[in-house]
């Protein structure tokens, strides 16, 4: 019951305009979401996800708490990942510290953005917007996939993914 | 008529699975219009970023090529997306194909970032996408499925429908994930799988890595080696790009060494080297030692898959100067040419002979092929013959005897065991084995022809002594 009470605001968020069938894009961050953006992000995860956080081989960053109820955290020997789907939007995190050698040495261009104080690269891949950066050896990726990939500003613009990445919650283990 | 058109259409949509898999090199982008369109700068990266990866579509054939620059694409040469040309080999890399999307591993800093793959037919949701590796489904979006392997490599499947897995589910290599479709959320795309490999690459970060060669290797594993397939190893003949000059009628022996990369064993008398371009054409370079004018040789040993063997044969230069390129390929006699289902293609193995005229060093108008002494202008076919000089001026094979000199006369008791007798005090000539110089004419006289003269001299001396006694 207590768990249901916690989820109630999140269910309300899930019904925001912009869900499949709606024509208007979802509103940006609301007061309710701001209130939940806290270390509660971990506490609101389901037990399996909390266990995966503990098993992650790399430092874990979670989506802000308003996404926790929709988040699934997974971990493997060389990675952890988060998937959160709500309405027209699917968010994901992928992080690994296993680094592979490139085939040759085309020099990477300088990065124009910053996330968590690190140089960051924003990319688009068939409508899926992502931002990547490194902390130590760990390469992090945050991605946003939109049902209306070619119209939804969360995917056509870079602001949303950058803001989302900046608001990731670091889990102290 | 309508039925005929329908039949043709079906044929066009379903390329035969037995067609030989072929692919253009990594970084070689499709360039419709002969390259006039800007398609980007490809990344010629042969590294296999996901070794051992399973091909992400369940069954062959499948076709990696561009949705934009191929037929039906808005930058393509016209036609529809289901055009048969889009469902044919060779594959084309489109990792760095021109896009507005940032891609640090592409030379221009932008690119497509993944590889587009068409399944066997242009039919929506008819073909399964399968797990490229053991791993976990780590995300499912409106049109995407992400599979992450234990080593952190992530395989992205875009434009999926009918997904049969769920987030957090562990899957095994080859397990069905969903169907290839045209799904891109609210705006359909073409029927294809957009496939990414996302991994942490040193110097670039957690980016979409080049996928093409990983897909090539995975596809080769999927379709398996053809029965008859060979790879070039070595040759003793000069490469076709280098000079290989022979004189008219000159012979040259050499070998061509090949590796058996097929599934069948090669056996002498079964696998031959044959002429190609055209196949079975009689070669102007054929040597009498060939099996026939279009079969230079058979393999020299039993060659199991993975092993190597040689075709050893001679070439004979034609009599007319000029260039003589000759292509060859391997053929399993009575079964198949290797290029029908495997490699090499018919126009790859080549020997190119340039026949050059014989030299005429002495400038007497007769080349070394017919001039029996190309350093002496007085010696050539048709030259005046000087008798008894030991020189064959007219190149007819022998010096002419002088009048009264009968080299054919052989007296009793004259054989090779009889030592040479110098005549007329002539000094023994070390340059003429068994011969001496005659002081009168300077002619070279053979040892055998000096004996009749000695006999005549003895007879004359005997006759003079007899007359004196009387």
Taking 60 as the threshold, does the pLDDT of residue B245 lie above it? yes
DSSP letters of A16-76?
STTSTT-SSPPPS--HHHHHH-STHHHHTS-HHHHHHHHH-SS--EE--GGGGGGEEEEEE
Binding-face residues of B in 381-420 toward A, CB within 8 A: none
What would the 3-class secondary structure string for A70-92 be?
A: HEEEEEECCEEEEEEEECCEEEE
Mutation site for A-interface testing, chosen from B99, B200, B213, B214 by largest number of A Cβ within 10 Å = B200
Say if the Cβ atoms of A78 and B150 lie within 8 Å.
Answer: yes
Query: What is d(CA B53, CA B48) in angstroms, rounded to the nearest whole number?
Result: 9
End-to-end CA distance of chain A: 28
End-to-end CA distance of chain B: 128
- Which sign does the torsion angle of CA B21, B27, B31, B35 carry? negative
The answer to whether the beta carbons of residues B54 and B173 sit under 8 Å apart is yes
Instruction: Choose the closest CB to B139 out of A76, A83, A150.
Output: A83
Residue B455 has what pLDDT? Answer: 57
Q: Please tell me which residue of chain B has the smallest CA distance to A23.
A: B186
Taking 60 as the threshold, does the pLDDT of residue B415 lie above it? no
Query: What is d(CA A21, CA A15) in angstroms, rounded to the nearest whole number?
Result: 11
What is the torsion angle, in degrees rounded to the nearest 10, for the CA atoms of residue B70, residue B76, residue B77 and residue B83?
40
Taking 90 as the threshold, does the pLDDT of residue B461 lie above it? no
Q: Please tell me which residue of chain A has the smallest CA distance to B109.
A: A109
Residue A15 has what pLDDT? Answer: 29
DSSP letters of B348-410?
TEEEEEEE-PPP-TT-SS--TTT-S-TT-TT-STTPPPPTTSS--TT-SSSPPPPTT--TT--
The answer to whether the beta carbons of residues B154 and A118 sit under 8 Å apart is no
The answer to whether the beta carbons of residues B56 and B156 sit under 8 Å apart is no
**CA neighbor of B388 nearest in space, from B375, B398, B374:** B398
pLDDT interval class at B19 (50, 70, 90):
low
Residue B406 has what pLDDT? Answer: 58
pLDDT interval class at B435 (50, 70, 90):
very low
Question: Looking up tokens 């696998």, which residue turns up?
Answer: B271
Residue B105 has what pLDDT? Answer: 84
What is the mean pLDDT of the segment spanning B105-134? 93
Residue B464 has what pLDDT? Answer: 64
Q: Please tell me which residue of chain B has the smallest CA distance to A118.
A: B205
Q: Within its chain, how far is the Cα of B152 from the centroid? A: 42
Q: Please tell me which residue of chain A has the smallest CA distance to B209.
A: A102
Query: What is d(CA B339, CA A27) in angstroms, rounded to the nearest whole number?
Result: 61
What is the mean pLDDT of the segment spanning B290-308? 97
Q: ipTM above 0.85?
A: no
The answer to whether the beta carbons of residues B93 and B28 sit under 8 Å apart is yes
Q: Which residues contact A100 (CB under 8 A, 6 or more apart)?
A: B49, B199, B200, B201, B202, B209
What is the mean pLDDT of the segment spanning B116-130? 98
Instruction: Choose the closest CB to B104 out of A103, A109, A148.
Output: A109
Angstrom CA distances, B434 to A24, A46, B246, stand at: 117, 113, 38
- Determine what percent of chain B is predicted with pLDDT higher than 70: 80
What is the mean pLDDT of the segment spanning B403-421? 43
Three-state SS at B222? helix
- Which sign does the torsion angle of CA B146, B149, B154, B160 carry? negative
- Determine what percent of chain A is predicted with pLDDT higher than 70: 76
Residue B241 has what pLDDT? Answer: 84
Question: Looking up tokens 């054409």, which residue turns up?
Answer: B281
Taking 60 as the threshold, does the pLDDT of residue B8 lie above it? no
**What does the DSSP 8-state code read for residue B290?**
S
Query: What is d(CA B107, CA B128) in angstroms, rounded to the nearest whole number?
Result: 33
The string over B75-84, giving b where at least 16 C-beta atoms fall within 10 Å of a residue's C-beta and e elsewhere, is: bbeeeebbbb
Residue A1 has what pLDDT? Answer: 34
Cβ contacts of B45 on chain A, cutoff 8 Å: 102-104
pLDDT, tens digit, for every residue of B126-141? 999 999 999 999 999 9
Highest mean pLDDT: which range of A16-20, A101-105, B6-10, B365-369: B365-369
Cβ contacts of B144 on chain A, cutoff 8 Å: 90, 128, 145
Residue B450 has what pLDDT? Answer: 43
pLDDT, tens digit, for every residue of A34-54? 333 455 899 999 999 999 999
User: Between B369 and B62, whose confidence is greater?
Assistant: B62
Mutation site for B-interface testing, chosen from A19, A72, A81, A116 by largest number of B Cβ within 10 Å = A81
Residue A37 has what pLDDT? Answer: 42
Tell me which of B160-164, B328-332, B446-450 is least confident. B446-450
- Residue A5 token pair: 């009470």
Taking 90 as the threshold, does the pLDDT of residue A123 lie above it? yes
What would the 3-class secondary structure string for B7-18 be?
A: HHHHHHHCCCCC
Residue B243 has what pLDDT? Answer: 81
Three-state SS at B301? coil
Question: Looking up tokens 């800093």, which residue turns up?
Answer: B109
What is the mean pLDDT of the segment spanning B289-315? 97
Query: What is d(CA A136, CA A133) in angstroms, rounded to the nearest whole number?
Result: 10
Taking 80 as the threshold, does the pLDDT of residue A75 lie above it? yes
pLDDT interval class at A78 (50, 70, 90):
very high
The answer to whether the beta carbons of residues A131 and A153 sit under 8 Å apart is no
Residue B326 has what pLDDT? Answer: 95
Binding-face residues of A in 50-69 toward B, CB within 8 A: none
Residue B467 has what pLDDT? Answer: 60
- Determine what percent of chain B is predicted with pLDDT higher than 90: 57
Q: Please tell me which residue of chain B has the smallest CA distance to A108.
A: B104
Question: Looking up tokens 């060859």, which residue turns up?
Answer: B328
Taking 90 as the threshold, does the pLDDT of residue B374 lie above it? no
Q: How far is B32 from chain A (nearest CA, A)?
A: 22
The string over B129-152, giving b where at least 16 C-beta atoms fall within 10 Å of a residue's C-beta and e elsewhere, is: bbbbbebbbbbbbbbbbbbbbebb
Say if the Cβ atoms of B184 and A126 lie within 8 Å.
Answer: yes
Taking 90 as the threshold, does the pLDDT of residue B108 lie above it? no
Instruction: Choose the closest CB to B200 out of A98, A107, A127.
Output: A98
Contacts 24+ apart (CB under 8 A), B283-292: B283/B326, B284/B318, B284/B324, B284/B326, B285/B315, B285/B316, B285/B317, B285/B318, B285/B324, B285/B326, B285/B351, B285/B353, B286/B316, B287/B251, B287/B313, B287/B314, B287/B315, B287/B316, B288/B316, B289/B313, B289/B314, B290/B314
Q: How far is A124 from chain B (nearest CA, A)?
A: 6
Taking 70 as the threshold, does the pLDDT of residue B171 lie above it? yes
- Residue B181 token pair: 């479709």
- Residue B209 token pair: 């890595």
Q: Please tell me which residue of chain A has the smallest CA distance to B48.
A: A103
Taking 90 as the threshold, does the pLDDT of residue B423 lie above it? no
Burial tier of B191 (Cβ tally within 10 Å: 0-12, 13-18, 19+): buried
Say if the Cβ atoms of A121 and B205 lie within 8 Å.
Answer: yes
**CA neighbor of B100 nearest in space, from A156, A52, A79:** A156
Q: How far is B139 from chain A (nearest CA, A)?
A: 5
Residue B456 has what pLDDT? Answer: 57
Q: Within its chain, how far is the Cα of A26 from the centroid? A: 17
Residue B53 has what pLDDT? Answer: 97
pLDDT interval class at B339 (50, 70, 90):
confident
Average pLDDT value over all residues in chain B: 83
Residue B13 has what pLDDT? Answer: 35
pLDDT, tens digit, for every residue of A159-170? 999 999 999 999
Q: Within its chain, how far is the Cα of B452 from the centroid? A: 66
Residue B2 has what pLDDT? Answer: 37
């Amino acid at each position: 019951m207590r768990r249901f009470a916690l989820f109630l605001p999140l269910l309300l968020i899930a019904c925001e305009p912009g869900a499949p069938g709606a024509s208007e894009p979802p509103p940006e961050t609301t007061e309710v979401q701001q209130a939940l953006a806290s270390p509660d992000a971990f506490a609101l995860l389901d037990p399996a996800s909390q266990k995966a956080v503990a098993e992650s081989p790399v430092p874990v960053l979670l989506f802000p708490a308003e996404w926790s109820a929709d988040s699934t955290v997974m971990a493997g020997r060389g990675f952890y990942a988060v998937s959160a789907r709500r309405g027209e939007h699917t968010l994901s995190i992928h992080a690994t510290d296993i680094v592979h050698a490139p085939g040759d040495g085309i020099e990477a261009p300088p990065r124009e953005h910053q996330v968590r104080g690190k140089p960051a690269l924003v990319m688009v891949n068939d409508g899926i917007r992502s931002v990547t950066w490194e902390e130590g050896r760990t390469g992090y990726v945050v991605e946003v996939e939109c049902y209306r990939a070619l119209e939804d500003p969360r995917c056509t613009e870079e602001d949303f993914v950058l803001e989302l990445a900046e608001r990731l919650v670091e889990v102290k283990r | 008529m309508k039925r005929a058109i329908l039949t043709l259409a079906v044929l066009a949509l379903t390329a035969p699975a037995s067609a030989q898999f072929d692919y253009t090199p990594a970084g070689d982008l499709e360039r419709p219009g002969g390259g006039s369109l800007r398609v980007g700068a490809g990344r010629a990266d042969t590294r296999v970023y996901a070794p051992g990866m399973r091909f992400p579509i369940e069954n062959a054939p499948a076709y990696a090529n561009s949705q934009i620059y191929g037929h039906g694409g808005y930058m393509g040469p016209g036609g529809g997306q289901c055009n048969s040309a889009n469902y044919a080999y060779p594959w084309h890399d489109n990792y760095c194909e021109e896009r507005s999307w940032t891609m640090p591993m592409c030379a221009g800093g932008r690119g497509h970032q993944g590889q587009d793959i068409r399944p066997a037919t242009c039919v929506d949701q008819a073909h399964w996408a399968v797990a490229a590796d053991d791993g976990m489904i780590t995300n499912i979006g409106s049109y995407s499925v992400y599979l992450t392997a234990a080593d952190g490599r992530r395989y992205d499947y875009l434009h999926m429908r009918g997904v049969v897995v769920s987030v957090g589910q562990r899957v095994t290599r080859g397990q069905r994930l969903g169907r290839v479709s045209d799904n891109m959320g609210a705006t359909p795309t073409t029927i294809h799988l957009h496939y990414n490999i996302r991994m942490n690459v040193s110097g670039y970060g957690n980016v979409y890595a080049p996928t093409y060669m990983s897909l090539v290797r995975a596809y080769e594993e999927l379709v398996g080696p053809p029965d008859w397939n060979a790879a070039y190893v070595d040759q003793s003949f000069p490469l076709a790009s280098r000079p290989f000059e022979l004189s008219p009628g000159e012979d040259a022996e050499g070998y061509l060494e090949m590796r058996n990369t097929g599934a069948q064993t090669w056996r002498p008398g079964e696998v031959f080297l044959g002429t190609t371009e055209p196949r079975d054409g009689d070669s102007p370079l054929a040597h009498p030692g060939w099996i026939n004018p279009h079969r230079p040789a058979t393999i020299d040993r039993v060659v199991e898959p993975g092993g190597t063997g040689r075709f050893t044969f001679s070439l004979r230069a034609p009599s007319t100067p000029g260039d003589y390129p000759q292509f060859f390929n391997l053929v399993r006699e009575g079964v198949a040419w290797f290029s029908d289902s495997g490699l090499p293609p018919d126009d790859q193995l080549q020997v190119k002979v340039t026949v050059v005229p014989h030299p005429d060093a002495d400038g007497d108008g007769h080349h070394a092929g017919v001039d029996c002494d190309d350093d002496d202008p007085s010696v050539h076919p048709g030259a005046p013959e000087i008798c008894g000089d030991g020189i064959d001026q007219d190149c007819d094979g022998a010096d002419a005897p002088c009048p009264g000199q009968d080299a054919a006369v052989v007296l009793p008791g004259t054989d090779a065991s009889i030592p040479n007798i110098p005549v007329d005090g002539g000094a023994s000539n070390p340059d003429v084995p068994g011969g001496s110089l005659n002081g009168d004419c300077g002619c070279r006289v053979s040892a055998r022809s000096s004996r009749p003269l000695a006999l005549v001299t003895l007879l004359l001396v005997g006759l003079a002594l007899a007359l004196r006694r009387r």
